[in-house]
C-alpha cells in the first residue's frame, strides 16, 4: 500500500508538471520559454521557470508573476507557490528556445529556408555536435510537405539519446495553415562512444612500454616492425 501511494504521488506530480509546461509553452512563446521544474517543499510548491527573456515572464513590478501564482493555485491546485524565473544558460543549445525562434521568424514571413540555415549556423557555432530542423506545412503550395536540414552527428536511438539529445516541437498558425517545427540538438556534454582520441606519449612512457618487449626477447626495429632476438 505504501509503495502504491508513493508511486501515485510521483505520477500526479509528473502530470501537474506536464500540464504546467504546456500552459507556459502556449502563452509565453515571445518570452522564449524553455522549460519548468516543479518541486514539493515542506511549506508548499516551488516552480522554477526557464526563459530566454526572463523579464517578459516577470512583468512590470512582478505583475505577471502574481497572475501566474493565482493560476497555479486555482487551476493546478498548487499550495503556497514560490515562483523563480531564471535565464537559459545556453539558449542556442536549447531545442525549445530555437523552435520558438523559428516560429517567431515564420510569423514575420521570413523565408523558411533562410531561417533554417541561420539557426543551424547559430547552433553549431554554440558548440553543438549536430542539429536537425524540420518544418512541415503548406510550404510551397496547397499540398502539405516538409523541409529537413541537418548538420553534424545526429543520434536518434540508444541510451545516449537521454543524455545529450534535446528535442522540441512547436507549431504556429499562418495564412496557409498550421506549420510545425521540430528541432533536434546534440549537445557537447559527455564523451561519445565513437569518439577516439589519440594520446601523444612522452619518451619515458614509450620506453616503459617497450621495456617488457625487450625483456621477452623481442626487439623493435627502426621501421616499426619487430625482430626476434637470438
Within 10 angstroms of residue 149's Cβ, the number of other Cβ atoms is: 15
3-class secondary structure for 173-208? ECCCCEEEEEEEEECCCCCCCCCCCCCCCCHHHHHH
- Tell whether 46 and 84 lie within a shared domain: yes
The answer to whether the beta carbons of residues 88 and 34 sit under 8 Å apart is yes
For 186-199, what is the mean pLDDT? 74
Residue 224 lies in a domain: no
Mark which of 72, 88, 104 sits at the end of a domain: 88
Q: Which residues pair with 200 in a beta bridge?
A: none
Assess whether pLDDT exceeds 90 at residue 98: yes
Domain carrying residue 166: 92-186
CA distance 150 to 174: 24
pLDDT in tens, 30-50: 888 898 999 888 888 899 999
- Tell whether 76 and 49 lie within a shared domain: yes
- Tell whether 39 and 101 lie within a shared domain: no
Q: Which set of grid coordinates corresponds to residue 9?
A: 504521488
CA distance 148 to 112: 11
How many structural domains comprise the chain?
2
Assess whether pLDDT exceeds 70 at residue 220: no
| Per-residue pLDDT, 224 | 46
Residue 226 lies in a domain: no
CA distance 113 to 163: 29
CA distance 43 to 138: 50
Mark which of 88, 105, 128 sits at the end of a domain: 88
- Tell whether 172 and 126 lie within a shared domain: yes
Residue 79 lies in a domain: yes
- Tell whether 106 and 58 lie within a shared domain: no
| Per-residue pLDDT, 229 | 47
| Domain at 67, CATH number | 3.30.300.20
Rounded to 10 degrees, the C-alpha dihedral 98/118/141/154 comes to -60
| Domain at 110, CATH number | 3.30.1140.32
- Tell whether 100 and 161 lie within a shared domain: yes
Assess whether pLDDT exceeds 50 at residue 189: yes
Q: How far is CA 208 from CA 17, 29, 202, 205, in A?
A: 57, 60, 10, 5
Higher per-residue pLDDT: 3 or 169 = 169
Amino acid at each position: 500500500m505504501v509503495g502504491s501511494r508513493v508511486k501515485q504521488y510521483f505520477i500526479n506530480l509528473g502530470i501537474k508538471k506536464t500540464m504546467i509546461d504546456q500552459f507556459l509553452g502556449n502563452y509565453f512563446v515571445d518570452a522564449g520559454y524553455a522549460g519548468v521544474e516543479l518541486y514539493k517543499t515542506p511549506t508548499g510548491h516551488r516552480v522554477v521557470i526557464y526563459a530566454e527573456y526572463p523579464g517578459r515572464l516577470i512583468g512590470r513590478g512582478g505583475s505577471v508573476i502574481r497572475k501566474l501564482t493565482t493560476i497555479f493555485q486555482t487551476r493546478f491546485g498548487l499550495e503556497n507557490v514560490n515562483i523563480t524565473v531564471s535565464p537559459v544558460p545556453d539558449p542556442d543549445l536549447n531545442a525549445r528556445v530555437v523552435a520558438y525562434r523559428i516560429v517567431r521568424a515564420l510569423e514575420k514571413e521570413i523565408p523558411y529556408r533562410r531561417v533554417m540555415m541561420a539557426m543551424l549556423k547559430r547552433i553549431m557555432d554554440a558548440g553543438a555536435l549536430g542539429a536537425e530542423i524540420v518544418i512541415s506545412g503548406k510550404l510551397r503550395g496547397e499540398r502539405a510537405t516538409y523541409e529537413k536540414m541537418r548538420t553534424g552527428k545526429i543520434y536518434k536511438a540508444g541510451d545516449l539519446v537521454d543524455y545529450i539529445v534535446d528535442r522540441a516541437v512547436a507549431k504556429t498558425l499562418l495564412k496557409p495553415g498550421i506549420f510545425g517545427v521540430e528541432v533536434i540538438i546534440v549537445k557537447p556534454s559527455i564523451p561519445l562512444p565513437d569518439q577516439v582520441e589519440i594520446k601523444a606519449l612522452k619518451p619515458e612512457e614509450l620506453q616503459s612500454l617497450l621495456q617488457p618487449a625487450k625483456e621477452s626477447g623481442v626487439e623493435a626495429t627502426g621501421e616499426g616492425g619487430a625482430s626476434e632476438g637470438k
